[in-house]
Amino acid sequence: MDILKRCRGLPFAILTLASILADVPMLAEKWKQVHNSIGLATPGENMNRILSLSFHDLPNHLKTCLLYLSIFPEDYVIEREQLVWRWIAEGFIPETRGIPLEGVGSACFNELINRSMIQPADVQYDGTVQSCRVHDMILELIVSISTKINFVAVLHKDQDETRFTDYKTKVRRLAHQSNCIEKLLERMSRDDLSHIRSIISFDYVKGIPHLGDFQALRVLDLGSCRSIENHHIENLEMLYQLKYLDLSRTSISELPMQIDNLRYLETLDLRGCAIEKLPASTVRLQNMQRLLVNRSVKFPDEIGHMQALQTLLFVSMSCNSIKFVEELSKLIKMRVLNITFSKPVDMVDEVRKYTDSLVSSLNELFNLESLKIDPEEGCSLDSLMGVYLTFGCLKKLVIGYISRIPKWINPSMYNLVHLELKVDIVREEDLHSLELLPCLLYLQLEMTDGSSKMLTVGSEGFRCLRESQFIWKNDGMGLVGAMPELQTLHLYFRTHETIANYSGVDGNGIENLSRLKKLCVDVDCSGSTREEVEAAEDSIRKAADSYRTKLTLEIQRWCEACMIEEEAHDGNAEFPSRSVNRRANPVRVAFRCHFVDPRKHVSMNLFQFFNYIYVLLIGIMACI
């Protein structure tokens, strides 16, 4: 109770202190040490002491990882993957035998979440935290520490760069949130520049002078700086230590021909640039693990030389040769691959050649965990219908615009947790095959053909599913005791067609979803009267109200401009299609249910767990 009193009822202080105590043995002298380290002072002073205690309680590698977050502006949403890649490039992540550095980095990220040093911003259906924020008070602490030890120099908006004059030779990492970084760098000598390991921009920048003088630079992030053009990256190939390069959303249209001089480069992000072709020397980047480009980029044919490549976004079939597609089979470490299939359907022979080569290559990628195949307009993926694909490690699969669900998507894909399909028609046997996927947690199923009959998910269907999104025209979905773990359901339907075929929208078995917490319904008003739309919405609300527990309901209308007047409505009359008003087309957005699996993110023994809960409960009582 004495420890709790020193938190002065501050919720963030209680939570932070509870995170510390969870790792403290239940010994009186240990808890007394924590008690004495806090002291008794004003609420603000106590908060600072608790946060300082939390920081100094971290292992050394976590302290370094946390201090690195001082480069980000206040309230900035930090993407987990990009952050981990930067940590690795900086050398912050310790090597652990048998575990990839990216896996160790993700574990460090989760540990900071568990210790309440960073806050989740986006939590996925499987409990994975995709992004985070740093609490204002934590940010103030780590900025103070980083400045004191010259770990990071942050140049804020409207801040005079002359403040760095006294210790500019000690600057190791430079994050600028203003437009005067050029002035600062121009004032620094070549010896000064040689100490800088990271440059990260969050604002307008005209360019980086003396680029070839940054001999120790490992991270260069100029993402979203539209003023950056080709001449600004002259001598880029002289940054021999560079490991992380982000030129996304800049005005750069080509890379230096000697890009292969960056032999240690691991991450290259060129998304949103004007680059149409990569230099031939790109394939000699032997340490490249993540290569992110636009859909229209042409790769060198010999991509098979990039043996370390693990993430490749995007690959366009129309921009690259069959030899390139065949070379993909050599990238045996590939884990994430996004493909744009853009060969017109009337080029049957060429499509078949590309398909055969692609299938052959994909079957060699034994470590593939995420695959997205997305056809462009006027194209079809039906060439993948009759092929045989085997994915032992695949966890995520996204396929767009195909006539039917391929037979190779079946229960043998025992690691698949995320599936998105856009098909013309779904038949009972196709749906049954999906129902039996043993580990499926997320399903998005869109049917573009309205001629199929109403589908029913049986009582044994989708046993693990936590979030689903169903989009159809005049089809329905019946649920008979199915999806016992489902927590978020997103439905989309056209009111007129659903009412015409099934005499309403209720009776679909939503009441059978025993763990449902959130229901999101998109109502397409095309060809319907206002009365029909309102009746449909009332029916949905009644179904939600009759649910056994409190259900969060969200209803959104689409294509209201395409509704018809009552007197114009005729059962045989044609009604406006969704294409009448392009701006009124529905945007398919999956609403996430934040289901955090404590077994995945928290590692503590039973006594530590009860310590944690005990402190939290007392804290809540004190606040009340």
| Residue 559: CB atoms within 10 Å | 23
**What pLDDT sits at residue 431?**
87
Q: What is the dihedral of CA 596, 602, 608, 609, to 10 degrees?
A: 20
Whether residue 524 has pLDDT greater than 60: yes
pLDDT band at 392 (very low <50, low <70, confident <90, very high): confident
Give the range among 236-250, 542-556, 600-614 with minimum mean pLDDT.
600-614
Contact between 583 and 546 (Cβ < 8 Å): no
Q: Would you call 135 helix, strand, or coil by DSSP?
A: coil
The per-residue pLDDT for 600 is: 39
Given pLDDT bands bounded at 50, 70 and 90, which one contains residue 356? confident
Per residue in 163-178, pLDDT (tens digit) is 555 444 567 888 876 6
**What tokens were used for 176?**
């600028």
Reported confidence tier of residue 182, pLDDT bands at 50, 70, 90 = low
Please determine, for residue 317, whether its predicted confidence score (pLDDT) is greater than 60: yes
The pLDDT assigned to 470 comes to 85
* pLDDT tens-digit map of 505-523: 454 567 677 888 888 888 8
Are β-strands 153-155 and 311-316 bridged in parallel, bridged antiparallel, or unpaired?
unpaired
- Quick one: which of 161, 143, 160, 139 has its CA closest to 152? 143
Higher-scoring residue by pLDDT: 25, 106: 106
Dihedral class, residue 104 (left if φ above 0, else alpha if ψ from -120 to 50, else beta): alpha
Q: When comparing pLDDT for 259 and 500, which is higher?
A: 259
Distance of alpha carbon 557 from the chain centroid: 27
How far apart CA 409 and CA 420 sit, in angstroms, is: 11
Q: What is the mean pLDDT of residues 360-371?
A: 93
Q: With bands split at pLDDT 50, 70 and 90, how would you rate the model's confidence at 113?
A: very high
Mean pLDDT of the region 569-594: 36
Contact assessment for residue 281 and residue 299, using Cβ atoms and an 8 Å cutoff:
no
Contact between 581 and 592 under an 8 Å Cβ cutoff? The reply is no
What pLDDT shows up at residue 452? 59
> Which helix H or strand E contains 621, and what residues bound it?
helix 606-623
- The residue ranking higher by pLDDT, 569 or 60, is 60
Q: Is the pLDDT of residue 502 over 50?
A: no
Burial class of residue 138 (count of CB atoms within 10 Å of its CB; 0-12, 13-18, 19+): buried
**Average pLDDT of 613-624?**
42
* The pLDDT of residue 428 is above 60: yes
* Residue where the block lists tokens 């016992």: 484
Q: What pLDDT is attached to residue 504? A: 46
- SS3 (DSSP) at 38: helix
Helix, strand, coil proportions of the chain in percent (round to 5)? 35, 15, 45
Average pLDDT over residues 87-112: 94
Q: How far is CA 79 from CA 58, 109, 180, 218, 291, in A?
A: 22, 11, 26, 19, 17
Q: Where are the beta strands (DSSP E) in 83-163?
A: 119-123, 129-133, 153-155
142-151, 203-212, 587-596: lowest mean pLDDT where? Answer: 587-596
- Top-confidence residue, 296 or 347: 296
Q: Between 185 and 64, where is the model more confident?
A: 64
Query: Does the structure show a pLDDT above 50 at 239?
Result: yes
Q: Which residues pair with 576 in a beta bridge?
A: none
3-state secondary structure of 133: strand
pLDDT in the model for residue 137: 85
Q: Which of 469, 465, 446 is nearest to 514 (CA)?
A: 465
Mean per-residue pLDDT over the chain, rounded: 78
CA–CA distance, 544 with 611 (Å, rounded to integer): 39
pLDDT for the residue numbered 537: 86
Confidence at 226, pLDDT banded by 50, 70, 90: confident
User: Are 421 and 445 a contacting pair, CB within 8 Å?
Assistant: yes
pLDDT higher for 210 or 41? 210
Burial of 299 (0-12, 13-18, 19+ CB in 10 A): buried
Residues ≥6 apart with Cβ < 8 Å to 483: 457, 461, 462, 463, 465, 468, 513
Instruction: Identify which has the larger pLDDT, 611 or 593.
Output: 611
- Tell me the percentage of the chain whose pLDDT exceeds 70: 70
* pLDDT value at residue 20: 56
pTM reported for the whole predicted model: 0.80
Question: Which are the contacts of 205, defined by CB distance < 8 A and separation ≥ 6?
Answer: 176, 179, 181, 182, 222, 225, 227, 228
Assess whether pLDDT exceeds 90 at residue 121: yes
pLDDT tens digit string along 12-67?
555 566 655 555 555 555 555 555 555 544 445 556 777 888 888 899 999 999 99
Strand ranges (E), 23-172: 78-79, 119-123, 129-133, 153-155
Percentage of the chain exceeding pLDDT 90:
35
Tell me what the mean pLDDT of segment 260-278 comes to: 96
pLDDT at residue 342, as a whole number: 67
413 band by pLDDT with thresholds 50, 70 and 90: very high
User: What mean pLDDT do residues 485-511 have?
Assistant: 68
Query: C-alpha distances in angstroms, 107 versus 123, 361, 541?
Result: 15, 32, 42
Asked if residue 305 has pLDDT above 80, the reply is: yes
Q: What is the pLDDT at residue 498?
A: 61
| 8 Å CB contact between 243 and 92 | no
pLDDT at residue number 183? 64
Helix (H) or strand (E) holding 443: strand 442-447
Q: Residue 186 has what pLDDT? A: 66
The predicted model gives 130-138 an average pLDDT of: 92
| Ranges 191-205, 504-518, 543-557: which has the least confidence | 504-518
Region of poorest pLDDT, from 174-178, 219-223, 234-238, 312-316: 174-178
Q: Is the pLDDT of residue 536 over 60?
A: yes
CB neighbourhood size of 459 (10 A): 12
Band (pLDDT 50/70/90 cuts) for residue 258 is very high
Query: 569 pLDDT exceeds 80?
Result: no
